[in-house]
Amino acid sequence: DIQMTQSPSSLSASVGDRVTITCRTSQSISSHLNWYQQKPGKAPKLLIYAASSLQSGVPSRFSGSGSGTDFTLAICSLQPEDSATYYCQQSYTTPRTFGQGTKLEIK
């Protein structure tokens, strides 16, 4: 199975800040990497697919980059509603493993 390592596991930032979350995979997955946002009590929401493509309806302050084994989710100009847990997921092979999550708190 492909192992996913997200960092940091949690972070705190202020409104207007720029933050980055990284995801490293145990083997190369090309660009088969997705990012999801999950708020408490809600289903996950797709933000970024294929490493860098923005899902329809997602604000442009979210962006993704990377390929191979190292990927980054960036959120610029943080807003209060960005408080959530963020997960990466590989779709290169089965099982479709997820990272352990990064909890983002807005100060």
Partner 1 sequence: DVQLVESGGYLVHPGGSLRLSCAASGFIFSIHEMNWVRQAPGKGLEWISYISSSGNTIYYADSVKGRFTISRDNAKNSLYLQMNSLRGEDTAVYYCARVHYYNSSASFDYWGQGTLVTVSS
Positions that interact with partner 1 (CB under 8 A):
31-32, 34, 36, 38, 42-46, 49-51, 53, 55, 87, 89, 91, 94-101
- Residue 71: what are its φ and ψ, rounded to 5°? -135, 155
Nearer to partner 1, 13 or 46 (CB): 46
Query: Which of residues 75 and 88 has its CB atom nearest to partner 1 in the complex?
Result: 88
Q: Are strands 70-75 and 84-90 parallel, antiparallel or unpaired?
A: unpaired
* Distant-in-sequence, close-in-space partners of 67: CB < 8 Å, separation ≥ 6: 30, 31, 51
Toward partner 1, which CB reaches closer, 22 or 38?
38
Output the smallest distance, CB 45 to partner 1, in A.
Answer: 7
